[in-house]
Amino acid sequence: MSGYKKTPNAKPIINITLTDELLKRIEDYRYNERIPSRSQAISNLIECAFNSLEGKSEKRSRR
């Protein structure tokens, strides 16, 4: 993977564009879950989405 910046601790930095509504939903999630950073909140939501997708594909493959 190239084309992205890395922080000093070698984690990639990406830029994304969000709608105002999506940003508000992320901020509400962050506040409700008491997550210290927006970056961590977004990472948690992405992990949750991937876990959900993986669970759905497992269910389909069992049929």
pTM value is 0.74
C-alpha torsion sign, points 26, 14, 46, 7: negative
Tens of pLDDT, residue by residue, the chain (63 residues): 566 676 677 888 899 999 999 999 999 999 999 999 999 999 999 999 999 999 887 766 666
| pLDDT at res. 11 | 83
